[in-house]
Homo-oligomer: A and B are copies of this chain.
Amino acid sequence: MSDKIFRVNMSDLTTGIEEVPADWAGHGGRGLTSTIVAAEVEPTCHPLGEKNKLVIAPGLLSGTAAANSGRISCGAKSPLTGTIKEANSGGKTAQMLAKIGCKALIIEGLPDGETWYNIHLGPESITINEETELIGKGNFAVVEAVQQRYDNKVGIITIGPAGEMKMTAANISHKDPDGKLRSSGRGGLGAVMGSKRVKFISIDATDAKVEIADPEAFKAANRAFTKALVDHPVSQALGQYGTNVLVNIINEAGALPTRNFQSGQFDGHDKISGETMYDTIVERGGKPKHNCHTGCVIQCSQIYNDADKKYKTSGFEYESIWAMGADCCVDNLDHIAEADHLMDDLGIDTIETSVAFGVAMEAGVLEFGDGAGMVRILKDEIGKGTPLGRIIGGGAGSVGRAFGVTRVPTVKNQAIPAYDPRAVKGIGITYATSTQGADHTMGYTVATNILNVGGSADPLSKEGQVELSRNLQIATAAIDSTGMCLFIAFAALDDETCLPALIDMINARFGISLTADDVTNLGKTILKTERAFNEAAGFTNKHDRLPEFFSSEPIPPHNAIWDFSDEEIDTFWNF
């Protein structure tokens, strides 16, 4: 199929399939969602009002055989941060959207009244249907029911009860190859989909496929690219232990935020580590190695079974395990797995919600370490939309405001993830300056600061961190546009064959001739587009700051503080 823009107007329930404007043609994934949001959304609009738009776009290489190219981008003005937002995910939907020729799906407007809808997409077709059966249902039930409706053939993009209730930690989930879920987690985009009263989107890509301009060149480039990925030691570690390999590494570095960011090391780290998780998975007949989308050669996902050897969760990530574990002092992997499963079903971001639990623990709502309490609150409060559920479902900042807590680890109201910025200073620059609030994936300096990928940079020194974060944020914005998983970055940073092969694939796909400079410029353009949107929404450099407790409270064991001056941080934007 040739690429088109699929547009759905929920105000008047009309649809359209449009030619791709020339300005948008070179974009995919995050580059495209951000370009469209910047072009069509009023920056000061209410994120849950009729003027916001939800944009969903596969990457430039999604739907092809390119390794690891199955990431989907969701974008909008975020109800959590008020900034522009892109949240990407694995699963099957990027590939299916690309195959039906949907370069981007734009959902705009708001319906009158209380009716809910679903949207069904096929090649050259969009249908809006009333939905009643699945309203109020969890994501797993949605996937099961929609698979039955469509004979197990469709891709599914869905929100859970959290999104229906417009909680600002709500995510958007995507069916994965196992019929489980992967999530566009951050920034509350599930609430935007909920505000538009769209419960799910199904995609029928039967017999549809992506056309490749130069199939032979594409295959050759993909072979080189795949080899670079599978040869890299970090790829291999991710394949064995999953992202959770990081618990012991980051704990050793003294940068594992513990007890709501009061320490950098967690006594119970061993009980929640990737190594322990691996042993548990093997013992219980789960799968330690597993992919989130067809074509992934790293396979950092896993299937985690409960003590009865029954499926409990998959895609059991370091970030989630850290947040529920160290940050909330819960050292019981089964409690964490249960909570992870519930969050996936409710459709709520594990990072935002778990960091919110850490703040709630500090406020005395429940005790640090109370994993069972966390599970209970997820079921009985967040799931039912009680006032407490809505406070926690509003994220870490919401909990801080409700209970008057001042140690609230957020930037632009988005929870800081699993690396303490006092002990890994590069990632602090990323948190502060990212166009999207605190987000490690926007410029993952941990690669260089801790894993010595792409060189090395002392995590405790300020030296070179702004430049490191800048280079990685630019590269990431470009990678996020290709449909590639961010984990290709390890190979891209260390193996000089990797990035040229990626560019060769893009050129072979479209019959164009991008250079490495073009890709860097693409990254810069995306960041500047996002920044301009934020400025028009009222953000200034004053929002590119970490909460003050990072500067006043030294974090053990290094007793480091956040010591960048405002002027040093602001040099980030000198490009």
Contacts and interface: CB of A to CB of B under 8 A. Distances in A.
A49 B194 contact: no
Contacts of A545: 44
A191 interface: yes
Given A542-B537, A543-B538, A403 B391 contact: no
B394 A46 contact: no
B194 A404 contact: yes
Contact of A540 (B168, B194, B540): B540
A105 B522 CA distance: 55
A388 interface: yes
A24 B394 CA distance: 42
Interface string A386-420: 11101100100010011110100000000000000
B402 A398 contact: yes
Contacts of A398: 401-402
A145 interface: no
Nearest to A393: B402
A51 B548 contact: yes
A130 to B, nearest CB: 21
B548 A542 contact: no
Interface in A145-172: 165-168
A512 interface: no
A172 B334 CA distance: 47
A554 interface: no
Contacts of A402: 387, 390-391, 394, 398
Given A542-B538, A548-B51, A394 B401 contact: yes
Contacts of A111: none
A43 B545 CA distance: 12
A462 B166 CA distance: 36
A539 B168 CA distance: 23
Given A386-B387, A388-B387, A391-B387, A404 B195 contact: yes
Interface of A: 43-46, 48-51, 165-168, 191, 194-195, 386-388, 390-391, 394, 398, 401-404, 406, 536-540, 542-543, 545, 547-549, 552
6 contacts: A46-B547, A166-B403, A387-B387, A387-B391, A387-B402, A398-B402
Given A49-B406, A167-B404, A390-B391, 18 more contacts: A44-B542, A44-B545, A45-B548, A46-B406, A46-B547, A46-B548, A165-B404, A194-B404, A387-B388, A390-B402, A390-B403, A391-B391, A391-B402, A394-B401, A398-B401, A537-B542, A538-B540, A538-B543
